[in-house]
Structure 1
């Protein structure tokens, strides 16, 4: 018979005695709540991410006197050919220009997202969601105007700045997860988090497939106009009370000056990790680091897999690139749904996390040794469970904190994953560029497979803490039972 400590949850749920308001009860009975907002925002975010690179690449190519729309990767070009050198220069400058735009938004939302998400614990979720969606909407409008009227690309920094100051995708996801935490019980929370992550991958994967064809046939104006209109509808959905119900209300006592509010929020972010009861602070840090390394590996892996596929011997076209990206994200959706529903029925969190890491390592090994395109797609299928780590980590952390800490903990998770998502392409891209001539890019995927040792080690530490905590509780119960008869004799 197995030790009950082996099947204990990673972290005990924090029980609260607060009663749900009537609004939260009404919202909890709805199957569809925040999903339309996050789906629309993710479609728009994915569209910006895809078309931004293509548009900047076209502008850089035209600055060199090359037709940017017809510039395609050459599979077996002679590296001494001047055209090859020109293409490399275009790729380099495009990478730098896109990086500057990403930096503008990424650095700002790393600071704005946790403050605004924490604010939602006190002032409500809808206002923060509206602000984040509005920032993405403004950025879409800027891209629409610049691409339609061929304005200076430097105007794009305006939209990226607004999107960064309003929290961007980090705040959308954090506020959405906090909203779900408000209206679900702890037993049902993991499933709803899985739905959120499935929506994320499905929305971005859908945009990857469609946008390439639309831009090729109709230009940049239609996709940006479409997502701008969709975001306008999403903003209306947030505002109208019958559509989205507010789950947290701000009392007059909680309505304070912004400077005081900001101070309170920053203190709450710092104090979150100071709770040592049950080793909560250690476990929260370990879970956060697991999420960091998972995002670090996955985000950059798609980019370098595309680079691998565009070279010899695969020689992918832009259509194949889009299909591969979509298949990778859709298999992650399938893994999230199937694994997220079935695995929790028979396994505890730490065993699910182990399986996710092994799925990740196997996927990267298969990709590294792949001799054909078919093997690359097989590698994507094998890694279908690697993204399940995210909702599992968030669910455990959500159950470990108080209701008024939900926004803070999701903001911290979002910031850590955002840093990992931004640094991953830089780290793996540099490794790929340095080794592509000698190892054909495969070494990058062997590196990714090896990195899985780190989260596996962190999960093992969590496992040990859980076992020791359970054993200590059993000893305390046994000791108290043995002392009771003595007390009666006395």
Structure 2
């Protein structure tokens, strides 16, 4: 029997391992593979989270305000006394509880993300999509119980822990991007990932506008029920409709060190030229961008609730919708700029708008100026799909799950750093410059701008990228 050629061996390696006859791999071809794209799972889950995040912060604000005897804001909005020291106390308490809730799931999420991503490279993307959607579903059930039964706000932490153990939103998002990487070409990958982010933006914008008016009209309970219904739909879609993108899913153990070794090998295995160095530097740039993104989103609702803005839930909803508009604008911006610019320079333009938007936020003391900042930020989110696409092109098709689980870990560490820095920094800067955290964010974004520009200008040739068909 003639031995396979080196080219045939490389092709076989890119396709991934074959399953044994009659086993999971062979059964994978006969099993229901679905027909629906992954974007709808992410749309539904993002809709639910965009509805919940400002909802939870506002609920904490009013619940903690009632406990300390402060009623300066209501669902109708407005501040009754900007000099009331209890307003600052409520801001501090709410900021700290956001910190506790985010911190509670970090280490569990770090463990689960690195375990589940490589596992999905072998068993397929569907099991992880279902698992992560179920975790988000259980989290919102706990939130409903807290609001309807007026349980201690510490129970929000329980929901966060359950969600993190099952993968959390980061694992869901990572699986979605890995699914797109499975079926896209290197040339189309950046735009396909921008399409996913546009879906996140559309869902977030709709949820933000609807949620703001809904809270004002009916309170907190009913929007949480809508979040629950949306996540039920996402879980069922992932289980029965999503089109599996791993060609030949295998049976594989979940709780095994092999999954962690696959992540280690992603960075330790030698590769041509500068690919591993670029892998590390792009991850660093993504970490810094996400840290500022998460950190400013953590405190912006508090910034808007308190004086001098004193926004009500309807204006907060419009502001959150404006934040999510950047995903849609970014898709159009990317498509236009790709006609004449490389992806790296599109990312640089995006970062420039982000920095300007942060500076405007830091000085905003009127509603008009705040929305001007949102307008600047609407051009700011092209950078993340560009970095994800560049990272995806540096690894093999059989490593996409491991890569995006690593990105999920970076995202989790960025969220931890953002929560710790911004929720701790915001209360202590209220006395001398309320918008200082936004100004700091703009300065930090100069670092990824320099990194991306240096990588593009120092080696503009694409040879270092291991682009696999």
TM-score by length of 1: 0.81
1:275-328 CA-partner distances (Å, limit 9, x unpaired): 342211110111111111111222223444544545555443332222122113
Task: Map Cα deviations across residues 67-122 of structure 1 (whole Å, 9 max, x no partner).
Answer: 6983888658363xxxx233333333333333222222233112211211111001
Residues 1:255 and 2:259 aligned together: no
Report if aligned partners of 1:238, 1:244 keep a CA contact under 8 Å in 2. Answer: yes
Q: Does 1:55 align with 2:59?
A: yes
- How far, CA to CA, are the matches of 2:342 and 2:373 in structure 1? 26
CA deviation vs aligned residue, 1:154-206 (integer Å, no higher than 9, x gap): 44433222101011110110001111111222222212100111122222232
Bigger mean CA deviation after superposition, 213-222 or 39-48: 213-222
Unaligned runs of 5+ in 1: 1-14, 472-490
Q: Of 360, 377, 382, which residue of structure 1 is paired with 2:354?
A: 360
Which has the greater radius of gyration?
Answer: 1
Which has the larger displacement, 456-465 or 279-288?
456-465
Residues 120 and 63 from structure 1, CA distance in 2 versus in 1: closer, same or farther, beyond 3 angstroms? same
- Rounded to whole Å, the distance in 2 between the matches of 1:67 and 1:438 is 25
Matched, 1:452 2:412: no
In structure 2, relative to structure 1, the CA distance for the partners of 1:328 and 1:294 (3 Å cut) is same
Partner of 2:170: 170
CA 1:189–1:63: 2 relative to 1, 3 Å = same
Shift of 1:137: 0.8
Residues 365-376 of structure 1 aligned to structure 2 (within 5 Å): 365-370=359-364, 372-376=366-370
In structure 2, C-alpha distance between the alignment counterparts of 1:367 and 1:55, rounded to whole Å? 24
What is residue 149 of structure 2 aligned with on the other side?
149
Match of 2:454 in 1: 461
Q: Which structure 2 residues correspond to residues 192-207 of structure 1 after superposition, within 5 A?
A: 192-207=192-207
1:34-433 pair list within 5 angstroms: 34-65=38-69, 70=74, 77=81, 79=83, 84-240=84-240, 243-248=241-246, 255-259=251-255, 262-274=256-268, 275-310=270-305, 313-330=308-325, 332-370=326-364, 372-433=366-427
Task: Quickly say closer, same or farther: Cα 1:99–1:297, change in 2 above 3 A.
Answer: closer
Instruction: State how far apart, in whole Å, the 1-side matches of 2:438 and 2:91 are.
Output: 22
**Equivalent-residue separation in structure 2 for 1:391 and 1:147 (angstroms):** 36
Q: Could you say what the CA RMSD is over the residues aligned between the two structures, in angstroms?
A: 3.1
CA distance in 1, matches of 2:274, 2:142: 47
Kindly tell me: are residues 100 and 247 of structure 1, through their superposed partners in 2, closer, same or farther at Cα, counting changes over 3 Å?
same
- CA–CA distance in 2 between the matches of 1:449 and 1:467? 27
Q: Which has the higher helix share?
A: 1
Q: Give the aligned length.
A: 442
- What is the TM-score with the length of structure 2 in the denominator? 0.84
Separation in 2, partners of 1:49, 1:371: 23
Are 2:121 and 2:401, in contact at CA under 8 Å, matched by a contact in 1? yes
